[in-house]
Structure 1
Amino acid sequence: MPADAAADQAGIDRAIVDPRTYADQAACDALFARLRRERPAHWTAPDSVRPFWTISRHADIKDIERQNDRFINDPRLVLTSIADEERVKRITGGNHLLLRTLVNMDDPDHRVYRNLTQPWFMPPNLKKLEAGLAALAREFVDRLEDMDGECDFVRDVAVWYPLRVIMMILGVPREDEALMLKLTQEIFGARDPDMRRGGDTDEKAHVSATVKEFFSYFGALIADRRKNPKDDVASVIANAQIGGKPISEFEALSYYVIIATAGHDTTSSTTAGGLLALMQNPAELAKLRARPDLLRLAIDEMVRWVTPVKHFFRTATVDHDLHGHTIRAGDSLMMCYASANRDEAVFAEPYAFKVDRAPNPHIAFGYGVHLCLGQHLAKMEIRTLYEELLSRLEHVELAGDPAWVEATFVSGLKRLPIRYRMKRKAA
Structure 2
Amino acid sequence: MGFRFDPEDRGFVDDPYPTYKLLRDAHPVYLHEPSGFTIVTRNEDVTRILNDFETFSSSRGNTLVDSPLRVGKTLGTTDPPRHDELRRVVMKGFTPARIQSMQPAIERDVERLLHDVGGRRECDFMADISRPILYGALGRMLGLDGDAARRAAELSRDLFHAGTGAMGPVSKPGVMEEVFAVLGRQLERRRKDRSDDLFSFLLEAQEAGAPLSDAEILGNMSTVLLAGNASIGHYFSNLIHALWKNPDERRKLLADPTKLDAAVNEAVRWDTSTQAFARHTTKEIALHGVTIPGNSRLAVCYGSANRDERVIADPDRFDIDRGKTRHFGFGSGPHICLGAPTARAMMRTIMTPLLPALGEYELDIAGAERVAHLMVRGFYKLTIRW
Give the TM-score taking structure 2 as reference length.
0.90
In 1, are the aligned partners of 2:17 and 2:304 still within 8 Å (CA)? yes
| Counterpart pick for 1:32 among 20, 30, 53 | 20
Partner of 1:425: none
Once the two structures are superposed, the pairs formed by residues 183-332 of structure 1 within 5 Å of their partners are: 183-191=155-163, 207-241=172-206, 244=209, 247-332=212-297
Q: Whole-Å Cα distance in 2 between the matches of residues 242 and 188 of structure 1? A: 36
Letter of the aligned partner of 2:87 in structure 1? R
Change in 2 beyond 3 A, CA 1:312/1:205: closer
The answer for unaligned runs of 5 or more in structure 1 is 89-94, 194-202, 421-427
In 2, are the aligned partners of 1:73 and 1:313 still within 8 Å (CA)? yes
SS at 2:153's partner residue? helix
> Is 1:408 aligned to 2:374, yes or no?
yes
In 2, are the aligned partners of 1:192 and 1:406 still within 8 Å (CA)? no
- Cα distance, 1:135 vs. partner? 2.6
Q: Deviations over 1:183-227 (max 9, x none)?
A: 11333322379xxxxxxxxx7696341122112211211111111
In 2, are the aligned partners of 1:163 and 1:181 still within 8 Å (CA)? yes
Partner of 1:91: none
Letter of the aligned partner of 1:154 in structure 2? M
- Cα distance, 1:277 vs. partner? 1.7
Partner of 1:359: 324
Partner of 1:107: 80
Partner of 1:135: 108
In 1, are the aligned partners of 2:234 and 2:273 still within 8 Å (CA)? yes
Partner of 2:383: 417
Letter of the aligned partner of 1:411 in structure 2? R
Change in 2 beyond 3 A, CA 1:310/1:394: closer
In 2, are the aligned partners of 1:365 and 1:372 still within 8 Å (CA)? yes
- Cα distance, 1:22 vs. partner? 5.3
- Cα distance, 1:285 vs. partner? 1.0
- Cα distance, 1:164 vs. partner? 1.0
- Cα distance, 1:52 vs. partner? 3.5
| Counterpart pick for 1:159 among 110, 113, 131 | 131
Partner of 2:48: 63
Q: Whole-Å Cα distance in 2 between the matches of residues 356 and 159 of structure 1? A: 29
Partner of 2:89: 116
Q: Whole-Å Cα distance in 2 between the matches of residues 174 and 105 of structure 1? A: 32
Q: Deviations over 1:257-283 (max 9, x none)?
A: 111110122111111111122122211
Change in 2 beyond 3 A, CA 1:21/1:228: farther
Q: Whole-Å Cα distance in 2 between the matches of residues 345 and 259 of structure 1? A: 33
In 1, are the aligned partners of 2:159 and 2:230 still within 8 Å (CA)? no
| Counterpart pick for 2:33 among 40, 46, 71 | 46
Larger Rg: 1
Letter of the aligned partner of 1:412 in structure 2? G
Letter of the aligned partner of 1:52 in structure 2? F
Letter of the aligned partner of 2:56 in structure 1? F
In 2, are the aligned partners of 1:98 and 1:208 still within 8 Å (CA)? no
| Counterpart pick for 2:304 among 339, 347, 362 | 339
Letter of the aligned partner of 1:169 in structure 2? M
Please list every run of at least 4 consecutive aligned residues from structure 1 whose deviation after the TM superposition is greater than 6 angstroms.
none
Partner of 1:180: 152
Change in 2 beyond 3 A, CA 1:129/1:281: same
Q: Deviations over 1:97-144 (max 9, x none)?
A: 678322111122211222222022243542333333333332333333
SS at 1:151's partner residue? strand
In 1, are the aligned partners of 2:57 and 2:281 still within 8 Å (CA)? yes
The answer for unaligned runs of 5 or more in structure 2 is none
SS at 1:241's partner residue? helix
Change in 2 beyond 3 A, CA 1:205/1:375: closer
Change in 2 beyond 3 A, CA 1:222/1:383: same
Q: Whole-Å Cα distance in 2 between the matches of residues 184 and 19 of structure 1? A: 25
Q: Whole-Å Cα distance in 2 between the matches of residues 54 and 205 of structure 1? A: 18
Letter of the aligned partner of 1:381 in structure 2? M
SS at 1:313's partner residue? strand
In 2, are the aligned partners of 1:159 and 1:265 still within 8 Å (CA)? no
- Cα distance, 1:246 vs. partner? 7.4
| Counterpart pick for 1:23 among 3, 6, 13 | 13
Partner of 2:355: 390
SS at 1:315's partner residue? strand
Letter of the aligned partner of 1:23 in structure 2? V
In 2, are the aligned partners of 1:102 and 1:110 still within 8 Å (CA)? yes
Identity rate of aligned residues, in percent? Answer: 28
In 2, are the aligned partners of 1:239 and 1:246 still within 8 Å (CA)? no
Q: CA RMSD in A?
A: 2.7
Count of equivalent residues: 384
In 2, are the aligned partners of 1:319 and 1:328 still within 8 Å (CA)? yes
In 1, are the aligned partners of 2:278 and 2:300 still within 8 Å (CA)? yes
Q: Deviations over 1:4-31 (max 9, x none)?
A: 34xx3xx22xx14x37565321xx1122
Give the TM-score taking structure 1 as reference length.
0.82
In 1, are the aligned partners of 2:59 and 2:72 still within 8 Å (CA)? no
In 2, are the aligned partners of 1:19 and 1:408 still within 8 Å (CA)? no
SS at 1:187's partner residue? coil
